[in-house]
Structures are given as structure tokens and as C-alpha cells.
Amino acid sequence: MTRRGSHDPPPQLQSDRGKMAAFLQWRRFVFFDKETVKDPADNGKNFALPVGICACDSGRGHIVLGDLEGQIWFLTRSLQLTSFQAYKLQVTHLYQLKQHSILVSVGLDEHGINPLVKVWNLDKRDSGNPLCTRIFPAIPGNKPTEVSCLSVHENLNFMAIGFTDGSVVLTKGDITRDRHSKTLTLHEGTCPITGLAFRQAGKVTHLFVATLEKVQCYTLSVKEYPHLELDTHGCALRCAALTDPSQDSQFIVAGDECVYLYQPDERGPCFAFEGHKLLVHWHRGYLVLLTRDAKSPNKPEFPSREASPTEKQVLTVYDLDNKFIAYSAAFNDIVDVLAEWGSLYILTQDRKMYVLQEKDTQTKLEMLFKKNLFVMAINLAKSHHLDSDGLSEIFRQYGDHLYVKGDHDGAIQQYIRTIGKLEPSYVIRKFLDAQRIHNLTAYLQALHRQSLANADHTTLLLNCYTKLKDSSKLEEFIKSSESEVHFDVEIAIKVLRQAGYHSHAVFLAEKHEHHEWYLKIQLEDLKNYQEALRYIGRLPFEQAESNMKRYGKTLMHHVPEETTLLLKGLCTDYQPRRDSADRDSLGSKANSEEFIPIFANNPHELRAFLEHMIEVEPRSPQGVYDTLLELRLQDWAHEQDPQKKSALQDAALCLLKSDYTVFDKALVLCQMHNFKEGVLYLYEKGKLYQQIMHYHMQNEEYAKVVEACKRYGEQEACLWEQALGYFARKEEDCKTYISQVLHHIDRNNLMPPLLVVQTLAHNSSATLSVIKDYLISKLQRESEQIEDDERKIRQYREDTAQLRTEIQELKNSAKIFQKTKCSMCNSPLELPSVHFLCGHSFHQHCFESYAESEAECPTCTPDNRKVMDMLRAQDQKRDLHENFARQLRCSNDGFSVVADYFGRGVFNKLTLITDLPGGKPGGSGGGGLEADLQRDLLIHTKRNA
């Protein structure tokens, strides 16, 4: 059967003929190396194929060949040939599955039209040959017809056989066994079947069927096997193939005018490759077409396997994605083109075999670089999945090429694509020329969008904007969201400020919460003090506090009232000025003392601030009270109006009387401002009574001196003595005050009379009449005291003599106990009883019950113990010489101190020798009297002890 003589292009092709003509201008490259396969076992001669090869296929690591004598040959990578007799006459078709070691063949075992299908398991052997698992005749409906094409599904459940009479037989089930499969006629027609291909997409299985006049697609995953006619023109035998999954497994149909690609439900792209097509193949993303040379004589549309030995054929390898020809060469009588071991193998009628090995990606790119085909190189690199570093290098070279040509706009677009790989300085140096500032700006913008810009890049970009005076671009840049553009905000603010774009800098500082920069620009550049103060009032506490310390003086100078109001809030219960829903439940308080220096030149605001603080926060820091006191004292000192001055005095005193005033600082302030009432109050508060006296003495306030003695004399008795000395030194007449002082000294016995006389001797105006009454009163009391002392002496002597008599009686006379009642229970005494020399008697059982010691009277024990404790205490203290000396120096009445220590027995260690050996009295003259006095003193001392 032959194909019709002419095939007009479809209407769509005719309408698009202008577009398709561009495909004829595709660039040609030599991306494959052609070599003749040599036989390693025959000294490098050309490898010779078996004679009469008529069917070919490849897969599973070998090339499968079928010859005219019914043998099937296997060619390994090491060029080892093995064969076995598969048919008696001829092998016509071979199909090697790629995922299974299954080979399907069609051939003839007898003359006539009676093709047989055989399924071979290459992993199993039968007498050394592959195991044939199934044989069945390939005749649809017992009609003798030739097999035109063969296809097997990789899942081994479908096999399709096309015939020259237009029939397609489908075997469904396990194709390796007869009993597990069934055969049916899927398609019938009048045109020979020229191409079959299975397509699996998920769970859906399709079968593409190509004839000389149509292209159809059957859906095999549906029971009824619905089909769809995809086109009304077909292709010659061996001119249909299936692309790999990277191209979505499209069905390729190569007509004489165009190459069409089909999806299961529609026609895809179309490529105008003219020429009579002899074979089509798909290899690793390339379309491989074998066409008859245009100078060759015409051949029949449906040729036989036998070819003229003079036929010239052109093999062309197309890259459909990148639109170029990867290889093209003429061959003589090609039998088939096979893909195996990563290369293309070309088998020819003269038994030669050629190999086309694809060049590596880098070599191909270098070829493109030499021709400055950078766009094509980029597309090729992407299709080969080159890594980002390799692509970046292509972009760089392309950018350099465009830059040299003067296409700066195009060059910068390529350089932008290198961001992240190429050092930005490489590009920036090229475009720093002011003529190319637009290009540099575009590159820097892209650098920021990819978050790869540093501070210098941000500075440079903003300088570009300002130099171009492109405010719109500048606003777009700084107002972009952080997800779009990343840059160093602080650097941007600095650059904008230096360039005079203060509003932009302020916007950036506020947006990114650079509070210090915002306030610096508002206050130093824009002089917008109200806005700066409003901004601080909206900040969190810590930041508001720090910024008020930094800019408080400036704000106080220009907006004192508002600044004072903010400081009041900051130091009491600060809340940022925002919506009430966002307010914190607990405010914060700043240290009000730290803000006092801000009011250096604003005393009125300072006074208002401090008074507010002590009113709202009584526990304010000490500096607040000290500063407010100083302010009130200054106002008091400068005030001339008596009424206002009195009010200010009361206010100052009120502050002094608070519990938060420091004594020392307040006293210094009062003394500095000569605030008499405050000084005297503080002296009294600090119990500095002598200072009060000296203050009145310095101001010669005599009545106040006497009054001070009366108020504080009980706390410090020496005040009267100081007052007497003060008045005694005065030359003017102070008799009245001296009399008052002497009266009090005399009444309280504060000074010895001799000291009083010596003190008054310094006053030349004081006469004896001043102290006459004092001396008379003193002498009278001394006389009365002497008489009282003599009376006590006589009484003590009588008591002593009586005690001596009692002691003597106890030592020498018997003691008669006449008690009739028990001293403990007051009941009549009964034997046995216990008697003591003190005169107390007890029942024995009462004594044993209450007595603490058998040798002591229970009744007298408490009094005796007190006396003994006193004696022990005196004995322990009698050696405290330093204590004695200190009290003697400090006491106004030294004699009383000596008498007290004499009573404690301090002087008991004296050794007194009253009689010399032999009974002679010691000493001479008046020495005896002195010895008698010492002995009498010692005796009395021991008795008292």
C-alpha cells in the first residue's frame, strides 16, 4: 500500500505559515560528536553489524536486532554479539520493554501472510536461549494482512498491534501468558496504521493511533474504550513517537510539512520542519528527525524495508524548547536510529554503526559564548538544570557583553540576575559614572529587594535618589514594607538628613521606631518642639524617660508649660498617650530628682513641678524637698511685702517640719538665707541646745538667752553656767538677767559658789549686791546641811555601837529561843523544830519544805541575798579606775563621786600600820593623830561594807 501523492496543509497551517517560517531560521550547532563505532577485537576496524538487519530496538542495556533469516541478535555495550533463532523465515518487528526484561517480536515461520507474535523472557533460559512465554498469531479476524507497527505498555497489561489494513488489535491482561489475556480488535479502518504509543497519566491509560490520514486517541481505562479524533492528517510509517514525561508525554506525528505534538484531548504545538520524513525519535529532550535529502529521487509514501543503496538521508536533532538545531548530518541508507547507554546509535545498510555523543553542558555553553548567543546559552543552561552559580556566570558574561556594546539598560538587567552570586562592587564600579546613574539605581533597588544590600549600598542608593531629585522613587523606597525591601534604616535616616530630606527621614524614623533620630531631626532640624513633645508622650516609659533626660532642657526652653506637664505625668503615673483600650493597668514612675536640672532657667515651672510632686508623691526623693526648700527661701528672702513674706515663711517652715527634710542640708540653706525661724527650729529638732543659746548670744537677745535656759536647762544643765558667763562678760548692765540666772543656779545647785564668784568677777559693772542674796542663801543652806550631817553622824555612831554590842553578845553569851509559833505557818511550835540566831523558829517539816539552804533562815534569805548581790557588784566595780577618773572629770560635784567609790570599797586595798613592833606607837610628834584618823576611817569603811 502506498500513501497518496499530495497532502495539502491544514487551514490552520496555511494561516500560520508566516509564523512558522521563522522556525526555518533556527540556528545550527554541533552539540554532538559523531564517531564510527570500532571493533575492539579487530584492531580498531569498523564494527560490522550482522547481515540483513530489518528490525531494531534497544533497552535494558543492549541493542536488539532482527534479521531476514529469523535470528534475533543482542549487542552489548562492549560490542559483544549473541543471537538465537527466533523464527524460521524472518523477524519483522521488535519491541524491548524499558522496565522489564521482556522482548516482544513479530516474524514469519512460514511463507505467506501469517505473522506470529512471540513474547520472550530474557531473564530465563530454554536450552541456552531466552524463554518464549507466549506465541499467538497476529491476524485480526482471520484476515491475512501484514503487521505495520507494534507497541507494548510498560505495565505488561496492554499490547497493541497495527496492521496495513487499518486494524489495531489490543491484547489486554498479562501479555506474557495466553490464559491471562484476551485479544480484541480496537480499531478498524482503510488506511494503514503507521504509529502506536501508550500514555499513562496517573490511573488513566491512553493509546495514540496514527494512520496515513488521521490521528486518534483511545482511552483504555474506560470499559467502552472511547476515542477522540485529534487530527485529519497522519504520517508515514515510523514517523510517530512519544516524548518523555518532561514534555508531558506528548504524541509526536511528523508529516512532510510539519511536526505536530498531541495531548490525549487536543493538538499541541506545531513545528514547520519541511521535508519527507523517514523516521522520528525522541531522545533526552531532543527531537530526532530523519528526512530524505531534497536532491534524492522521490520514494513511495509507504516504503518497504528494502532501500536503495544510493539514497541520501539527513539526520537532524532539534531542541524544541530552545529553538535551535543541535546536530545535522547526511548519512547513506540508515536502517534505524536507537538510543542506548546515553547516546544515539545510527545503523546503516552497509553494516556500519555510528554513535552521536552529546557534548557536555560547559562545552556547549562555550560554543554559544563565542558567538555571543547569551540568551540561548541561558535557556540551554536552564533546560539542563544548571546550578545557580553557573547561571550567574552566564548572566555576568552577557551583562559584560551588553555593557561593552553600549546597551547599559540591557546590561543592568543581566547584572540584576547575578545578585546573590556576583559581588555587587563589580557592577557598581561599572555604573558609578553619573551618566549611568539610572542604571545604578535600578541595580541597587534590586539588591535591596533581595535583602542583600549592606549599609554602603543603602547609602549609595539614597544618594542616587537625591542626586536625581526623584522624590517619588525615594518615597516609594522608604514607604515599602519590610517584606519587599530590606535596608539599614539608621543609615538611610542619616543620608536623608544630610541631603536635606527631613520629612522623609522623619517618616522613616517614626515608621521603624528610631525614636532618637526622630526627635533629633524634629528638634535640631525642623525646630518642631510641639511635635517632638507629643511624640515623646506616646513612647513607652523607658524610652520617654531617656529622651526627656536628653532633650528636656531644649523643650523646657521653648515649650515650658507643656514640658512641665509631661514631666509631672512621667514622674507620677505615666501612661503613653494612646487608646484607652491599650493602656497598661499599672503605670511607671520616673525619679523626679533626676529632672530638676532641666528647670535650670525656669524657676517658676520648677516650683510648680516640685510642689506637684510633694503633693501627689509625698515620698518623693530627697532632692525634691531640698530644691523646693531652697526656692521658698529665695522667695522669702527677696519678698518685700510683709504679708506675702509671712506666708512664704510659713510655707518654708511647713516644709522644714515634714518628715522628708534632711537636717544638714536644710540647716545650711536656712543659714545661707538667714532664715532665723528655720535655724532655731532645726536646732531644737536636732537637740542642739547650745547652738540655740549661741545664736541668741550672737544676736544679743538677752531675754531669749534666759528663756532658752529655762526651756532646755533640764536637758543640758551647763546652759545656765554658759549664760552666767555670757552675762558676766557683758559690759552693759545685765543685773536683771544675772539675778534670774543666779536664782536658778542656786535653786538647782548647778555651780559651786566659788565658781560663781570667779565668773562674775569678769563683769566690771557687777557689784557685790548682785550676788549678795545668792551668797546668803547659799551659806544658810550650807549651815543647814552641816547640821543635818552632824545629826546623821551621831545617829550612825549610836547604831554602830548597838550593832557592836549585839555582835559581842552573840559571840560570848547564850541565845535563848522563846518563840512559841512557827515563823512560816504561824502555828504553835512542836518538836522537832529549827531555830536561827536571827530569832526565827520553824517546824522542821516547814523548814524542809521552804528552805533553799540548810544554813540560811528562809525568812531572812531574800534580804541577805540582796545585800550580798550589792556587795558583789561593788566589789566587781571597784577596779574600774578609768571609769572613776572619767566621772570625776565630768562631774560638777567631785566629792560625791569619790564618796560613792569609797562606799564601793575601792580603797579597801590600803595597808595601815598602826603599831610598831613592841607596842610602840609609830611616827613622831603629830603622826599618832594621823594614824588614829586613818584607823578610824578604815574601821568605819569596813563596817559600812
Give the three cell numbers for residue 753. 559658789
User: For residues 744 and 717, is the Cβ–Cβ distance under 8 A?
Assistant: no
Distances (CA, A) of 157 to 160, 176, 602: 10, 9, 100
User: For residues 353 and 345, is the Cβ–Cβ distance under 8 A?
Assistant: yes
pTM of the model: 0.54
Distances (CA, A) of 437 to 412, 429, 430, 459, 681: 11, 11, 10, 14, 80
Measured CA to CA, the distance from residue 385 to residue 246 in angstroms comes to 12
**771 CB contacts (<8 Å, ≥6 apart)?**
742, 756, 757, 760
- What residue type is assigned to position 689 of the chain? Y
C-alpha radius of gyration, the chain, whole number: 66
The predicted-structure confidence for 268-325, as pLDDT tens digits, reads as follows 888 888 888 899 999 988 999 999 876 555 545 454 444 455 568 899 999 888 888 9
Q: Which of 253, 330, 243 is nearest to 284 (CA)?
A: 243
**276 CB contacts (<8 Å, ≥6 apart)?**
236, 256, 291, 292, 298, 299
What string of H, E and C letters represents the secondary structure of 169-233? Answer: EEEEECCCCCCCEEEEEEECCCCCEEEEEEEEECCEEEEEEEECCCEEEEECCCCCCCEEEEECC
The pLDDT, as a whole number, for residue 928 is 46
**916 CB contacts (<8 Å, ≥6 apart)?**
922
Give the three cell numbers for residue 685. 529638732
**89 CB contacts (<8 Å, ≥6 apart)?**
69, 70, 107, 108, 109, 110, 111
Give the phi and the psi of residue 518 in degrees, each rounded to 5.
Answer: -60, -50
Distances (CA, A) of 831 to 91, 853, 858: 159, 20, 19
| DSSP code string of 512-537 | TT-HHHHHHIIIIIS--HHHHHHHHT
The pLDDT, as a whole number, for residue 927 is 44
DSSP run (H or E) holding 33? strand 32-36
Burial 244-264 (b: 16+ CB within 10 A, else e): eeebebbbbbbbbbbbbbbbb
Q: Is the peptide bond before 297 cis (omega within 30 degrees of 0)?
A: no
User: For residues 20 and 258, is the Cβ–Cβ distance under 8 A?
Assistant: yes
DSSP run (H or E) holding 430? helix 424-431
Segments of the chain with pLDDT less than 50: 1-23, 299, 301, 303-307, 434, 579-585, 910-930, 933-945
DSSP run (H or E) holding 261? strand 259-262
What string of H, E and C letters represents the secondary structure of 346-361? Answer: EEECCCCEEEEEECCH
User: For residues 516 and 543, is the Cβ–Cβ distance under 8 A?
Assistant: no
| DSSP code string of 79-131 | --EEEEE--SSEEEEEEE-SSSSEEEEEEESSSSS-EEEEEEEEEEEETTEEE
The pLDDT, as a whole number, for residue 829 is 79
The predicted-structure confidence for 366-399, as pLDDT tens digits, reads as follows 887 788 777 777 777 777 667 777 777 878 888 8
User: For residues 440 and 431, is the Cβ–Cβ distance under 8 A?
Assistant: yes
Q: CA 492, 498, 504, 508: dihedral to nearest 10 degrees? A: 30
Q: CA 695, 698, 699, 700: dihedral to nearest 10 degrees? A: 120
Tell how strand 324-332 and strand 27-28 pair up: parallel
User: For residues 830 and 843, is the Cβ–Cβ distance under 8 A?
Assistant: yes
Q: Which of 600, 24, 637 is nearest to 328 (CA)?
A: 24
Q: Which of 437, 438, 459 is nearest to 448 (CA)?
A: 459
Q: Which of 81, 149, 83, 82 is nearest to 115 (CA)?
A: 149
**538 CB contacts (<8 Å, ≥6 apart)?**
576, 577, 578
Give the three cell numbers for residue 856. 540560811
- What residue type is assigned to position 715 of the chain? Q
Measured CA to CA, the distance from residue 801 to residue 871 in angstroms comes to 22
Distances (CA, A) of 83 to 70, 72, 745: 10, 5, 152
Measured CA to CA, the distance from residue 392 to residue 396 in angstroms comes to 6
The pLDDT, as a whole number, for residue 251 is 94
User: For residues 721 and 751, is the Cβ–Cβ distance under 8 A?
Assistant: yes
Q: How long is the chain? A: 945
The pLDDT, as a whole number, for residue 197 is 94
Distances (CA, A) of 148 to 160, 189, 212, 228, 450: 11, 14, 12, 22, 59
The pLDDT, as a whole number, for residue 218 is 94
**C-beta atoms surrounding 208 within 10 Å:** 27
Give the phi and the psi of residue 309 in degrees, each rounded to 5.
Answer: -70, -5
- What residue type is assigned to position 486 of the chain? H
SS3 of 275, please? coil
Alpha-carbon dihedral sign for residues 229, 233, 239, 242: negative
